[in-house]
A and B are shown apart, each in its own frame.
Chain A
């Protein structure tokens, strides 16, 4: 039993932290937000040090690492609220490498930073990503895809999107070229300025780009949920650090705010929620890589990420007073990211509903 990072994982954590703290400073983040929300220089820098290929096989120019390492990278990104589609592109490329090994050229292009890939997993309405609604119909060598996907991360800048779909009543994944005929992309404005798109499909793909393997969608959802939770962990760390610095230095009634117990206790609650998230994210990441059935661990971490992060960023925001809402002060980005990511693939309640079904059913 060893819950410490391995040497290799530690190197990833340090390298990522270094890169983001050098290249994702507040002024730069602001500049990118005002453009299209995608920092191409940072993206290239991540590719150049091998971080975009972190979880790809060595044959595709990657390092062959897994979720625990990806969590380190995602966490560092969250800490700096750095505007790059890291989770979307890396998790989608991991699924492509696993299920569509023939797409070697695409994988190499995602590892070297020349192309961004993403996955369209969220659903309209109740947003239950475990039950996709895009219909896939196999017709010989071709697959017809019809349907829509809301809020697809990085869609306006992606070359390919892995779409969750239903074929003969079973979930599947379909790799779609975003420039193909019958693929309509409508760019969306988002609260945290990350690029997203609404996807409408009435198109056909080669049957070799359809994944019908059992558990492929679950596996991708698990990775996206945990990588996103790791970003949220970083978002929490950043928010708590900002709040601690502020209440230690801001004086009212002749003493620092932290001298008031109501302030300290709120900050301590945020710290505890962050630590609960840290432990559950690492546990779930390891379970995805090594466990027999990581479902309950993944949903638990996703719950802490949704519920906990929203509490933490709210506390950090509150502890800053009015100052926190000023766009020239950095902490509001943590608030916006926390709120946005917390609902991305189902809220805390949705995770609980699924988990409740999982544990109360398997125990009976």
Chain B
């Protein structure tokens, strides 16, 4: 066991830091989050720059335009990049979810998108959840019917992150209603410019419209845009969902335990024994997450699938977020709910508090994941299901 950087890793870290100092802006008290419509193009431009200088796709295979390094190297780069204002947040779906899925299941033509994503030319969104299919995603009812060599799609999707900006989407639709729900779903690539697609922003209580509702009316998708096999979309989607969990658990937040301690000091509460206890608990949770990250990265760098570790980490991350926000809200008191330009501390805490639901629900709710954990981690028998073996069309609605 060796948690430290190897000499090679330390040299790479130094090189990354030097490059970032020259090309990015170090975070400071003056750093402000960008509004979404500026953040999206800024992230794409930053990705293009990373690509131009050889810092993109560090751990991706060379066959897909990556650098073929170990996943530890890309983590090192991300750790260093987290000290700077430039972020790739809006590209999470593209780089963190779509690209790994296409690498595993895409046709050679579909895999051409990967290089475009690496160059910062494409933004993708995810068209999975529906008004009637949330935790029970496989119950989805958006229909795709084959007409010659074109699929005609009708239905409604929801929680489409950044759908208003995306050029492409990954879409799950029902292609066979006569078989059990998991067996009649197909995974498509859809061009968001198709005239049958209407994207309506959903304003959340944070005041931002990160999510959208997406209406699909006679959308025409060419047959070559099916990812994997027709009716085998669920197994493709599992790759995307696993990647989503790991993106959430490994994602950067606009806050840290250090910033929480600063907030306590700033509000004159750092010596309050109850607050101190909460700061220490936050630190303990953060140490656990860091150490879990070591395990996940070690597994990934040795080509083991860190499934259980990832689930644990996502749940631990959600707990950390919720509990830390509680402390932050306690520290801020009545000021906690000031919004927008009037918010305290660069609008760091109030949106993060309100946004905790994205962390707890994205990629599967805490509770759904604990059920999965019962099976994967503890070897408990599968939860009895009332719909096993029943054709989707015969399920009660």
Contact = CB atoms under 8 A, between A and B. Distances in A.
Contacts of A6: 1
Contact of B380 (A248, A272, A360): A248
Contact of A265 (B6, B367, B384): B367
B241 interface: no
A159 interface: no
A285 to B, nearest CB: 8
Contacts of B312: 271-272, 275-276
Interface string A255-289: 11011010011011101100110011011001100
A23 interface: no
Interface in A284-307: 286-287, 290, 296-297, 299-301, 303-304
Contact of A279 (B6, B265, B294): B294
Nearest to A264: B374
Contacts of B370: 264-265, 268-269
A271 B287 CA distance: 18
A359 interface: yes
B373 interface: yes
A142 interface: no
Interface string B109-141: 000000000000000000000000000000000
Given A255-B384, A276-B316, A290-B4, A4 B302 contact: yes
A28 to B, nearest CB: 27
Interface stretch (B39-47, B143-151, B271-279): B271-279
A297 B277 CA distance: 16
B279 A359 contact: yes
B280 A356 contact: yes
Nearest to B271: A360
B379 interface: yes
A360 B1 contact: no
B381 A352 contact: no
A248 B4 contact: no
Contact residues on A (Cβ < 8 Å of other chain), bracket: 35 or more
> In this complex, which of A240, A356, A357 has the most chain B Cβ atoms within 10 angstroms of its Cβ?
A356
Interface stretch (B97-105, B162-170, B187-195, B256-264): B256-264
A120 to B, nearest CB: 27
B276 A360 contact: yes
A39 to B, nearest CB: 30
B371 interface: yes
A4 to B, nearest CB: 5
Interface in A1-43: 1-6, 9
A352 B281 contact: yes
A2 B280 contact: no
Contact of A300 (B264, B287, B297, B374): B287
A279 B288 contact: yes
A300 B288 contact: yes
B261 A359 contact: yes
B17 interface: no
A272 B373 CA distance: 9
B72 interface: yes
Contacts of B295: 3, 279
B341 interface: no
B283 A1 contact: no
B254 interface: no
B291 A355 contact: no
A351 to B, nearest CB: 8
Interface in A118-141: none
B331 to A, nearest CB: 13
A283 B291 contact: yes
14 contacts: A3-B294, A3-B297, A248-B380, A264-B370, A264-B383, A268-B370, A275-B312, A275-B316, A275-B377, A279-B292, A282-B291, A286-B2, A299-B284, A363-B265
Q: Shortest 10 CB-CB distances between A and B: which pairs?
A: A356-B276, A279-B291, A268-B370, A283-B291, A356-B280, A300-B287, A3-B294, A264-B374, A3-B298, A258-B380
Interface of B: 1-6, 9, 72, 75, 257-258, 261-262, 264-265, 270-271, 273, 276-277, 279-281, 283-284, 287-288, 290-292, 294-295, 297-298, 301-302, 309, 312, 315-316, 367, 370-371, 373-374, 377-381, 383-384
Interface of A: 1-6, 9, 68, 240, 244, 247-248, 255-256, 258-259, 261, 264-265, 267-269, 271-272, 275-276, 279-280, 282-283, 286-287, 290, 296-297, 299-301, 303-304, 349, 351-353, 355-357, 359-360, 363-364
